[in-house]
Every structure is written in structure tokens, then in C-alpha cells.
């Protein structure tokens, strides 16, 4: 074996295993679209294609209270285009392609700082850390760009070169998903870390800080302009009422895996008696902060900590770290192409209707008069918008444009808590579509409402003759 080379099984085995992970993930493309957000993202893209409006009154719901700011308009255009060209199977393939891109970007991020064994092991674990967020939504683009930006700033920490192209990446990112703020925090952490290390001249530090500042300024130059920042306040206002924004809990495998990666880093620093650089310490603290803030940001923590874990594991293994060769890239590239092809075949033969929704109730819903208000579970709002646009739904998962007062009302009515009757009657609903076990079901039946059918864990209730 030549100096600097790893034994074949240790170099190629982990990469083959990672390719198998890609193929396993591609198998889900045949399951169709079941995410409650995916359908309204498609409608958002259609709205932008048709009107070119990125902010204003919501055209799809009657009971929103805040303007709809489409800060994810670019991937929504792609989702709408896919659905237009090939229906929901094409959207399922696009979503799978996004998930595969997250996986490959994580491998590239880890491989940039570690050998193939450590890189593949940690990247695979980081994929599991993001699993709760690998849904068919624009956040997949945010995850890919986060991996790109973290890798770029780690290279800057080594060679001290300002990478001005990050300004353009941030502009693109700000047109795709709100996670662009994470990229700015990564850049700031690296600049501060280099300043604490006193390894970079003051002029270099100023140029690197200018990259971060210019990236922030670029976010104000998207088509949304300053309205891009409106969504942060509206999301923060309703976050206490959204499950995805609750604190991470240890009953989630993604949380456990991300926690393991976070704890692995200082453990290996201690075992290997390695003194981490300030840049590494600050990025580790950043990963902890993002990963611990909410269930929705656990995946962010997994991505930020992944290269630190891969590098620490690589040092602990003390194995040669050969540079990625053309054969290595060809193996992963061929695996990615095979996974995309498998996903295309499975998606084309998969369901072309939304999954996980009470589709057997389509006939009953279609029989309701146009304009009927249906008090609904927010998880079904996107489906009602997409499949039954003639009905007026009362809630969906865009909680930020309904506002905190509506969120509290929704929970009070669904739980049939004191005062629910007044809140419910204010909507003028003549039908209700909610989870079968919701307390509202029994409360409405006690008022004379009757069931018109049930499916997929939901029940459709209709009011009796007006008294």
C-alpha cells in the first residue's frame, strides 16, 4: 500500500454503503405526496407564475389576518412546474431529488475535512439527524446551501481567502428559504473565531467580515425587498402554537442522532488530547444553539456539526486521508444517478393523488355548495385548497398568516374548550373535517351535527337544518 492510501475496504466500503443509503432513500419516491405543506407550496408557485406577486392578501383562504409573503418563491416555482408537467408523481421525484442532494452535499462537506471512512459514517448519521425535516418542501434547498456555505467557510478558515461568491449564494438562498440566516451566523462565527486565534491580519479579517456584511445586504435585494424580513416576526408570533417549533425531545431519532454527533466532538477532542481551534469551538456552539432551539432546527444543528464530527473522528482513527479521487467521485456520482433513475421509475408508477388524506370523502365534499365554510384540521388545509378550491377552509399549516389569535382559537375549538361555541359559530361553518378523536367531534354531534363519512383518521360532519 502506498503512503497516504487507506486499505481498499476502508476507503471504498463506507462509500458503497453510502450509495446504498441513497438507493434506499430513493425507494420512498413511490409513496407519493403526503406532506401537509407540499400542496400549498405548489399552489404558491402557481400563484407566482400567474400573477408575479410575491406578497399581499392570500388568494386561497378566507380567514387569514396577515399578508402572505412568499419568501420561498423560487423552489415553489420549481414545485409548481413539476406538478404542471407530470402531476404529483413528478413532484414526488423532485422531492426525492432534493433529499438525495442533501445527502450528497453532506458527504461532500464531511469529505472535505476527513477521509472516506469518517466522512461516510458521519454523513450517514447527519442524514438521520435531518430526517424529520426531509419533507417535500423548500427547506431541502436550504439544507443543501447550508452544507455548501459551511464547507466554504471552513476552507476560508484554513486559507484565509474571502469567497465573494458566497454573496450570490446568500441572495439565492434568501429566495428559497428562511434558513439563510444560519449561513450568516456560520460566517460570523468563523470571522470571530479567526479574530480570537489572531492568525489572520486585520485587513484579511475586515475583508472576511465584509463578505458576511455583503451577504446580509444581498438579502434585501431579492424581489421581495425589505418585505423578506416580515416573515420572521409573523412566524415568531405563532411559534408557540406550532409543533415543529417546540423544544427538541429525546423521543425523536433525529434528535438522538444529532445529540450523539454533538457529544462526539468534544469527547474525541478530549480523548485525542486535541486542542480545538476557536473556529471549531464557535461552530460547535452554533450547532448546539441551532439544534437545541426547536424541532424544526435539529437538522440545521446536524449539518453544522457534521464536519466537526467527521474531522474529530478522522483524527481519532489516525488513518491516512487521501484526497477524493476521480474514481471516488465517479462512484458516488453513479450511485446518485442510479438513485435518481430508481426514484423516477417508482414515482411514475406511484400514486398520482395526495396520500394520507381522506380522499374517500371527496364525493361528499364536492356535494357541498360552492362557498361552504368547512371548519377543518390545519393538516388538511393544503389538500382542501388543492382538491376542493370551491370550499372555504378555516385553517392550514401557514399558521403565520393566520396570526396568534386565530391559532389560539383553532386549538380552543378543536379541543372543545370553554368558549369554543362562540368562536366556532363566528366562522359560519356548515361542515367540519377533523381528526376522528378530536373532542370537537363529540361536541358537534351533541349540537345535532351528523357524520357524512370517515377516512384516513378523519371524520366529516355536517350541520343539521338551521333552527
Tens-place pLDDT, residues 269-300: 998 888 899 999 999 999 999 999 999 999 99
Same-domain check for residues 292 and 406: no
Instruction: Give the chain's residues under pLDDT 50.
Output: 1-5, 466-467
Flag whether 166 is in a domain. yes
Q: What's the CA gap between 186 and 183, in Å, rounded?
A: 5
Same-domain check for residues 340 and 282: yes
Residue 133 lies in domain: 8-31+71-346
Pick left, alpha or beta for residue 318 (phi over 0 → left; psi -120 to 50 → alpha; otherwise beta): left
Flag whether 37 is in a domain. no
| Element of type H or E holding 431 | strand 431-435
Report the number of distinct structural domains present in the chain.
Answer: 2
Flag whether 380 is in a domain. yes
Same-domain check for residues 176 and 292: yes
Question: Last residue of a domain, which of 346, 375, 404?
Answer: 346
Flag whether 50 is in a domain. no
Same-domain check for residues 216 and 327: yes
Q: Which residues, in sequence order, are CB contacts of 259 under 8 Å at separation 6+?
A: 250, 291
**Are the CB atoms for 91 and 33 separated by under 8 Å?**
yes
Flag whether 14 is in a domain. yes
Flag whether 195 is in a domain. yes
Question: Last residue of a domain, which of 290, 314, 346?
Answer: 346
Same-domain check for residues 148 and 275: yes
pLDDT of residue 20: 96
- The closest alpha carbon to 191, from 210, 208, 215, belongs to 208
- Taking the model in full, what pTM does it have? 0.94
pLDDT of residue 448: 94
Question: Last residue of a domain, which of 296, 323, 346?
Answer: 346
Residue 424 to residues 416, 428, 447: CA-CA distances in angstroms? 9, 7, 12
Same-domain check for residues 398 and 319: no
Same-domain check for residues 261 and 157: yes
Give the DSSP letter of residue 246: S
The grid cell for 392 is 372555504
Same-domain check for residues 26 and 133: yes
Same-domain check for residues 423 and 291: no
Flag whether 134 is in a domain. yes
Flag whether 77 is in a domain. yes
The residue behind cell 413532484 is 91
Q: Quickly list H helices, 200-277.
A: 202-219, 230-238, 253-271
Same-domain check for residues 146 and 192: yes
pLDDT of residue 274: 81
Same-domain check for residues 332 and 373: no
pLDDT of residue 7: 56
- The closest alpha carbon to 355, from 95, 102, 130, 21, belongs to 95
Same-domain check for residues 292 and 372: no
The grid cell for 441 is 367531534
The grid cell for 327 is 474514481
Q: What's the CA gap between 107 and 335, in Å, rounded?
A: 13
Q: What's the CA gap between 390 and 387, in Å, rounded?
A: 9
Amino acid at each position: 500500500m502506498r503512503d497516504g492510501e487507506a486499505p481498499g475496504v476502508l476507503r471504498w466500503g463506507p462509500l458503497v454503503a453510502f450509495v446504498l443509503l441513497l438507493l434506499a432513500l430513493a425507494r420512498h419516491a413511490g409513496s407519493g405526496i403526503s406532506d401537509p405543506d407540499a400542496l400549498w407550496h405548489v399552489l404558491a408557485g402557481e400563484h407566482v407564475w400567474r400573477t408575479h406577486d410575491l406578497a399581499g392578501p392570500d388568494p386561497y383562504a378566507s380567514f387569514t389576518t396577515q399578508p402572505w409573503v412568499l419568501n420561498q418563491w423560487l423552489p415553489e416555482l420549481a414545485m409548481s412546474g413539476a406538478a404542471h408537467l407530470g402531476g404529483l408523481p413528478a413532484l414526488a421525484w423532485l422531492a426525492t431529488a432534493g433529499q438525495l442532494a442533501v445527502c450528497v452535499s453532506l458527504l461532500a462537506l464531511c469529505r472535505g475535512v476527513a477521509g472516506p471512512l469518517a466522512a461516510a459514517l458521519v454523513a450517514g448519521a447527519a442524514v438521520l439527524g435531518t430526517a424529520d425535516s426531509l419533507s417535500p418542501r423548500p427547506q431541502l434547498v436550504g439544507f443543501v446551501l447550508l452544507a455548501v456555505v459551511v464547507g466554504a467557510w471552513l476552507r476560508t478558515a484554513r486559507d484565509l481567502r474571502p469567497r465573494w461568491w458566497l454573496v450570490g449564494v446568500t441572495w439565492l438562498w434568501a429566495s428559497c428559504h428562511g434558513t439563510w440566516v444560519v449561513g450568516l451566523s456560520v460566517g460570523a462565527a468563523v470571522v470571530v473565531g479567526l479574530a480570537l486565534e489572531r492568525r489572520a491580519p486585520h485587513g484579511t479579517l475586515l475583508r472576511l467580515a465584509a463578505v458576511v456584511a455583503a451577504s446580509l445586504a444581498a438579502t434585501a435585494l431579492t424581489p421581495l425587498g425589505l418585505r423578506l424580513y416580515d416573515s420572521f416576526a409573523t412566524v415568531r408570533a405563532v411559534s408557540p402554537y406550532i409543533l415543529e417549533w417546540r423544544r427538541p425531545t429525546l423521543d425523536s431519532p433525529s434528535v438522538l442522532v444529532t445529540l450523539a454527533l454533538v457529544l462526539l466532538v468534544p469527547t474525541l477532542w478530549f480523548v485525542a488530547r486535541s486542542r480545538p481551534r476557536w473556529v471549531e469551538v464557535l461552530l460547535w456552539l452554533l450547532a448546539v444553539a441551532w439544534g437545541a432551539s426547536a424541532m424544526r432546527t435539529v437538522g440545521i444543528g446536524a449539518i453544522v456539526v457534521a464536519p466537526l464530527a467527521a474531522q474529530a473522528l478522522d483524527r481519532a482513527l489516525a488513518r491516512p486521508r487521501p484526497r477524493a479521487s476521480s474514481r471516488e467521485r465517479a462512484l458516488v456520482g453513479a450511485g446518485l444517478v442510479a438513485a435518481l433513475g430508481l426514484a423516477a421509475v417508482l414515482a411514475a408508477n406511484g400514486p398520482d393523488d395526495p396520500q394520507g388524506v381522506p380522499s374517500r370523502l371527496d364525493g361528499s365534499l364536492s356535494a357541498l355548495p360552492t362557498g361552504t365554510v368547512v371548519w377543518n384540521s390545519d393538516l388538511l388545509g393544503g389538500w382542501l385548497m388543492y382538491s376542493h378550491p370551491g370550499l372555504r377552509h378555516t385553517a392550514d399549516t401557514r399558521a403565520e398568516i393566520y396570526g396568534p389569535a386565530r391559532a389560539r382559537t383553532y386549538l380552543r375549538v378543536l379541543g372543545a374548550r370553554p368558549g369554543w361555541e362562540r368562536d366556532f359559530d363566528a366562522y359560519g361553518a356548515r361542515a367540519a373535517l377533523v381528526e376522528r378523536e378530536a373532542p370537537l367531534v363529540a361536541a358537534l354531534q351533541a349540537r345535532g351535527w351528523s357524520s357524512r363519512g370517515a377516512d384516513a383518521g378523519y371524520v366529516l360532519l355536517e350541520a343539521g337544518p338551521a333552527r
